Amino acid sequence: LPNSFKSSLLSRILTSFFLSKTQLQMSKHTDAADVLLERRGCAGVITLNRPKLLNALSLGMIRQIYPQLKKWEQDPETFLIIIKGAGGKAFCAGGDIKVISEAIKTKEKLTQDFFREEYMMNSAIGSCQKPYVALIDGITMGGGVGVSVHGKFRVATEKSLFAMPETGIGLFPDVGGGYFLPRLQGKLGYLLALTGFRLKGRDVYRAGIATHFVDSTKLSMLEEDLIALKSPSEENIAGILETYHAESKIDIDKPFILEEHMDKINRCFSANTVEQIIENLRQDGSPFALEQLKVINKMSPTSLKITLRQLKEGSSKTLQEVLTMEYRLSQACMEGHDFHEGVRAVLIDKDQNPKWKPANLAEVTDEDLNRYFKSLGSNDLKF
């Protein structure tokens, strides 16, 4: 990795991830233009249309996308679904986290509704019977990962920027992160989840997050070719994606940015506790390991322990089982200290200096963790 990967990366990740929320108002009403839903040719096309806010997901947008997705799934004239972001800078930088934090303070029901309905949408994407093509061009973090990674096809470009930086804001990599992250090669998903490590361009494909890589300048042509298909099968759609993928030469000769570090990642992140992962990194002592150590030491201790358990449990669960687990975690985090402190430090005061409680890993007990994973009974997420 280049020497520019410094501990200040944490604040840059979080600034990117939450930039889209800083201007948001408390209104739960979304202008219909925030998401465009169109039938074009053989395809249903979803356009996340808040470019000035990096296409951040709101509850209103979710409430438009989910029912339309279900309608297109049943429509015999719709053969595939395409989702993309407007503006050229972001696919989707995440969800309206600041709005959620403010809603809790005013005792609004948004916190239950947002996560419940977002996760229902994530599940619907994962089980969609029509080929689902996500064009992940630009920033793709948090909620943006949830509306892309569970689909059949995910197309990255040289402008793609993927990260799950939630441990730095007192949360955990949700939207099904507990399902897809532990299924990446080796312990790569554990590194991404605990550190918020950013992947760019073709590395998003090499990591297994994207299924294809296409030059950003060719995306509109790709979309038109998909839309022009006549009653296509999944194989027809895959064939067009493969053709565009094969024609892309950008960074084709560069190795995966983490390739030389995968042995270290697999060794250090295979531990059963966060404390042991930290000790493994310290003992490794390489510049790469020490950089990850610096980043982890800035994260919420509670979030780190939640996240490691989330991934370990999620590795053997179905997507729906993972989302049920993550809904429990989301509601517990909303009631805890660290999420609101993370929002304060990153979004409100912007001092990038959150005061976590508990402040160290030793104070986060198994009993504390069990409370986060506890069933919500009749309030559990059900499919």
CA distance 238 to 229: 12
What would the pLDDT profile of 186-236 be if each residue is shown by its tens digit? 999 999 999 999 999 999 999 999 999 999 999 999 999 999 999 999 999
What would the pLDDT profile of 267-291 be if each residue is shown by its tens digit? 999 999 999 999 999 999 999 999 9
Report in angstroms the alpha-carbon separations of 53 from 78, 256, 355: 30, 30, 27
| pTM metric for this prediction | 0.92
User: Annotated catalytic sites, by residue?
Assistant: 95, 143, 166, 174
**Residue 7: predicted pLDDT:** 39
Q: What is the 3-state secondary structure (H, E, C) of 115-152?
A: HHHHHHHHHHHHCCCCCEEEEECCEEECHHHHCCCCCC
CA distance 277 to 288: 14
Which parts of the chain have pLDDT scores under 70?
1-32, 107
Contact 80, 226 (CB under 8 A): yes
**Residue 185: predicted pLDDT:** 98
**Residue 23: predicted pLDDT:** 37
